[in-house]
Structure 1
């Protein structure tokens, strides 16, 4: 009889179903050959600092740096009261350990997720009981019946996963040491008032710096005007096409006068088709999803989605057996999965309108061991869902469509380039025209991507045309766009290695493996935490650093924590530990030395306040409520009012919380009211009180006075005759 330990109850149920085990007991299932029990994720956590030494119960600068000689674990704390152990976790841990000691159990199988955290969860539970029985590892990429049975037939001794355990432990201990020491010391040094600590983290700060740097680029951007000259050419058949004036490869000109002179010279002139080039080009589908690409795709396409939400929904689909393991960094499948993939494709495409165009093929774009890191890309399983929630449907459809697209015809288009030269005058440049026609829609049918054709008339080289309408247009260089979760995830995934947002996924896939900010499993959590602690805020899809976040980047003295290279190297070492090429002791020594030096740096830093805790929570004070009508800045809630983030630059827009006009109506401004005013230019306010004490409702608007920079209130009543 073998004991199987799953990471979650839902996974234990999947294993029990695969083995046709129905007998459910208190905390486990029992069959003839297997007993299946479960954890609830982490049942154990590292000691708090005060558990090692009672003097650490109070934060004092002299107590740091604090690095335990030996790291100890305890039952995880109750989230509502951290002084006490979580009773559910304690009970389940007792059940697991008692099952391990049963005389009829002759082996233990860890069936936790096949990643660093899963290995850590299983090993921390199993080895706490000092088992004398052999321990095995079930390594699966999905929880379908076929995979569970196959996995149980090919178990590995858990000792073979020691490198994975070392990587998990190293990550956990390193983040504990850096977090406990630097958060405590930074809060003592730079924060005034009691409240949330000033969070300092190995992955948190470089991610904040990515957003801060983009904000600074936008803030310091100085737009420059440039000019373009376009001309419409008329053929002998009275057909027209447009061309842009180009000298060398330059079509943007800094001086309008240059183009104005050209425009004057070419009026009504004859021109000739210098050359015409027609090329057929292929468009391959985007690569299969890894977690970061899936999160970027969904958050960019659907309003209100965050990376964290995408991960949670994908995890739910995985545990329900509908998709493969989602926390992957790979965009290809292992070559051993060819047969299985063909079966999945046949199952998920049954009854589709373009079923005849789908053809299974083994290609390097899809099957490539060199592009698989631990887990293959995310694809559907052969289990077709009958009923999904609206959120699950969005994520599942995206994964399914991206999978099917790999086996549809390659999209093809024809690109035409025409160069036109003006005759009888001396010009340095020519006019370029481009046209594009979709020939084969192919995989774009699946993704529902519509291509806009730009047709050019059928003309031949040396054909004569005439200059018709001309125009010199004015343009301005645009600042970089704020980061979104999609663009931020890309920078985190590649550690900013010179990858631009528009770069294709093939280039991104060639970035040095393991050299990243965080892992696929932790990046969404990092972005969420940055919002929760008030370092960044979201304005629609855009991510912006708050005043607190900016002060932290500009003031905090341990600059290497903001350095992508430094954090990327640490993540690379963790990746190498996982592969068995680096010992965990080397990594931990580096981290402990870094922490000790950083604590001393903070202690010796000048006295400065980064964060002053007031009555208003940092979360509410950093939420962007809308765009400033005065300067397009961000309106946020402060202690005394709702004001513009550009107030230091002179923007006077503010709605005071003790506004006299609203006070006379027995009202105070609320976030909902302010959001309505900014979005719709007026807000419907209920429960206003007249001088006679009568309650009424009205529309309020907050409008700028023509004579100065100040704003005042206007009231309109609802037209009940409409």
Structure 2
């Protein structure tokens, strides 16, 4: 009797599959077997690419004459630490009574790569292979994924993209790290009085280092510029007070004047004082020139994808992207949320039609979860959604868009696994509650703000007053947004509403407010993730920016690991309390070396275009051979370039400009 073989990515996932499929066979060394099925598992990667010395022993010693290193056929090997489990999987895949193999590794490029490497190494033939693609590890989703499993061959383009990504990182890392180390490692070592310096280079890693260094240098070189604003205090009927800020709009005597820093301030304090003296000498009263009242609506934010979740957790919980990803993966494996390594912030139409299941599941939170006092009100929002059927027609909103989804939809709670909540660490609980609140918010109405804008004229000069308050919190209550000072703001708005156009008001007093320009902010661990996701925003060329829209630097699955590696090799420093990122002196030196040798590695548009190319391979727009031709050409061209330039002296000079560079 033939059996089906299920191969998962981790042992814990295999257990969940066994439960979902009701496989109650005996647990053996590395697999579970019943009379109808076998379940085994990888432990992450089992197979990896061989180092150059496996091609030829001469490559163990780094030499410029051996570069570029581009093998015609890439070699792979089983990782020593997991050889036993690889052999277990191989034995099961080779069994004659196994007719169908279900690939159940994570549903993404990396999960595909993990399995394909094993299959290639084993050399599977004459077996039906099917791909299980799921968005959560709930039993229903697992069973549905197996029922709807497609032939593995339908994912061949995804597999090609996965292999290419690995080859790209391998070739760039091997060639450029060896090249720059041999050319410039001794230059850095001599400068910092160290024995040896290895220069680590990566397609994505080096670009991200460049972003952090460039931002730090913008801050370092920034010169604060003071400027002086003018504020007038007005009074109506000896009781109603308000203030207005002067701006040199069209019609002002000072419009476009070279005395101004901007239309709202003078370059020097004496200019501002001269303005006040001049205008108050001629005027003791002012006139309400214009009043505009309007309401503004703010819709609930889109759902979390991994980058957005990592950014929010960095800001609110001071978690690094790596910590957030680990927590999200934990919640996924406990069936509490959907697949976390997603770039989408919307849902599919099919999922939207069944969201009532998720909401009904969450309605058990209060009885199952020990919620804090702050989060106890979640129960109220869930009950309101159910009672008033606020989920009706959600598929017609901006939160549902099939075209904006590639592999997986946004991160949402499944409504299951709640019995695990009380076993979670506090940080994991906080992340889960954030995901639940963001999900519930999409069913609530927008927040409504009442905005009042007043223009007060003093002679020919105009002063502007703006008051904005939230009059209907809507979804903001679900997100637990702060309502502080709302009463005082409401009182002020009610007072200002009494003013009418063409009314005369008294000038009570005037004052000069000194301000100054602000430098750009340093990247936090969260904001750099968003910048990596939206690489196009860092590109000046508008046409190119639109062309690579949607392709960032790295992927949702790799960005956290890239930051972690940069920190590990001491190229950047992360303040764990603030989550602020800064480059180290050695990181800045590496940046200078790359900028002077292979500057394109620092350009977001190039790095993003490589990722775009992988997406095109995945979609079938280009083939793997076309991609490899471009990749090999890029590597050869840059190796040749570096071998011909002589810039060590200028590099040493540039090191001296780096603070604390240990000279």
TM over 0.5: yes
Aligned-pair distance for 1:340? 2.4
Instruction: Check whether the contact 1:349–1:404 (CA below 8 A) recurs between aligned residues.
Output: no
**Candidates 59, 73, 77, aligned match of 2:76:** 73
Matched residue, 1:483:
523
C-alpha spacing 1:609/1:97, structure 2 compared with 1 (3 Å): farther
**Candidates 604, 607, 612, aligned match of 1:564:** 604
Worse-matched range after superposition: 164-173 or 317-326 = 317-326
- Provide the rounded CA distance (Å) in 1 between the counterparts of 2:582 and 2:264: 33
Matched residue, 1:419:
455
Aligned-pair distance for 1:194? 5.0
Worse-matched range after superposition: 374-383 or 483-492 = 483-492
- Provide the rounded CA distance (Å) in 1 between the counterparts of 2:245 and 2:383: 43
Aligned-pair distance for 1:553? 2.0
Name the SS for the 1:136 alignment partner.
strand
Matched residue, 1:311:
325
Matched residue, 1:248:
249
Aligned-pair distance for 1:481? 1.2
**Candidates 290, 294, 299, aligned match of 2:309:** 294
Name the SS for the 1:430 alignment partner.
strand
Matched residue, 2:141:
147
**Candidates 438, 450, 455, aligned match of 2:470:** 438
- Provide the rounded CA distance (Å) in 1 between the counterparts of 2:579 and 2:456: 43
Matched residue, 1:347:
361
The equivalences for 1:280-429 within 5 A come to 280-303=295-318, 305-349=319-363, 352-355=379-382, 357-358=384-385, 359-361=390-392, 362=394, 363-386=396-419, 387=422, 388-422=424-458, 426-427=459-460, 429=461
Matched residue, 1:220:
221
C-alpha spacing 1:256/1:345, structure 2 compared with 1 (3 Å): same
Instruction: Check whether the contact 2:288–2:504 (CA below 8 A) recurs between aligned residues.
Output: yes
Aligned-pair distance for 1:157? 0.3
Whether 1:102 aligns to 2:105 is no
1:434-465 residue CA offsets vs partner (Å, 9 max, x unmatched):
11121111111122212444323222222222
Name the SS for the 2:353 alignment partner.
helix
**Candidates 275, 284, 288, aligned match of 2:290:** 275
Matched residue, 2:256:
none
Aligned-pair distance for 1:61? 1.9
Aligned-pair distance for 1:608? 3.0
1:8-38 residue CA offsets vs partner (Å, 9 max, x unmatched):
1111111111112233221112234321110
Aligned-pair distance for 1:128? 2.2
- Provide the rounded CA distance (Å) in 2 between the counterparts of 1:609 and 1:321: 58
Instruction: Check whether the contact 2:229–2:514 (CA below 8 A) recurs between aligned residues.
Output: yes
1:23-75 residue CA offsets vs partner (Å, 9 max, x unmatched):
32211122343211100111000111111111112112222211111112111
Matched residue, 1:681:
none
Instruction: Check whether the contact 2:585–2:660 (CA below 8 A) recurs between aligned residues.
Output: no
Whether 1:534 aligns to 2:570 is yes
Q: TM-score, normalised by structure 1?
A: 0.79
C-alpha spacing 1:511/1:468, structure 2 compared with 1 (3 Å): farther
Whether 1:546 aligns to 2:588 is no
Worse-matched range after superposition: 478-487 or 351-360 = 351-360
C-alpha spacing 1:69/1:293, structure 2 compared with 1 (3 Å): same
1:372-431 residue CA offsets vs partner (Å, 9 max, x unmatched):
122101111121423212221122111111111111221111011111122xxx33x211
Unaligned runs of 5+ in 2: 187-193, 251-262, 367-378
- Provide the rounded CA distance (Å) in 2 between the counterparts of 1:435 and 1:31: 70
Worse-matched range after superposition: 286-295 or 603-612 = 603-612
Matched residue, 2:482:
450
Worse-matched range after superposition: 413-422 or 153-162 = 413-422
In the alignment of these two chains, the number of paired residues is 596
Instruction: Check whether the contact 1:551–1:610 (CA below 8 A) recurs between aligned residues.
Output: no
Instruction: Check whether the contact 1:517–1:568 (CA below 8 A) recurs between aligned residues.
Output: yes
1:175-222 residue CA offsets vs partner (Å, 9 max, x unmatched):
111111111121122113555621011001111111111112112212
Q: TM-score, normalised by structure 2?
A: 0.86
- Provide the rounded CA distance (Å) in 2 between the counterparts of 1:510 and 1:285: 26
Higher strand share: 1
- Provide the rounded CA distance (Å) in 2 between the counterparts of 1:342 and 1:258: 64
1:261-312 residue CA offsets vs partner (Å, 9 max, x unmatched):
3423337822222121111111112211111111111011123x21111111
C-alpha spacing 1:196/1:448, structure 2 compared with 1 (3 Å): farther
The equivalences for 1:198-213 within 5 A come to 198-213=199-214
Instruction: Check whether the contact 1:518–1:571 (CA below 8 A) recurs between aligned residues.
Output: yes
- Provide the rounded CA distance (Å) in 1 between the counterparts of 2:647 and 2:568: 26
Higher helix share: 2
Instruction: Check whether the contact 2:233–2:508 (CA below 8 A) recurs between aligned residues.
Output: yes
Unaligned runs of 5+ in 1: 77-84, 501-508, 613-643, 649-653, 655-722
- Provide the rounded CA distance (Å) in 2 between the counterparts of 1:14 and 1:607: 58
Aligned-pair distance for 1:313? 1.2
Worse-matched range after superposition: 25-34 or 104-113 = 25-34
C-alpha spacing 1:270/1:378, structure 2 compared with 1 (3 Å): same
Instruction: Check whether the contact 1:514–1:571 (CA below 8 A) recurs between aligned residues.
Output: no
Aligned-pair distance for 1:357? 4.3
Structure with the larger RCO, 1 or 2 (CA within 8 Å, 6+ apart): 2
- Provide the rounded CA distance (Å) in 2 between the counterparts of 1:499 and 1:567: 11
Instruction: Check whether the contact 2:212–2:581 (CA below 8 A) recurs between aligned residues.
Output: yes
Name the SS for the 1:497 alignment partner.
helix
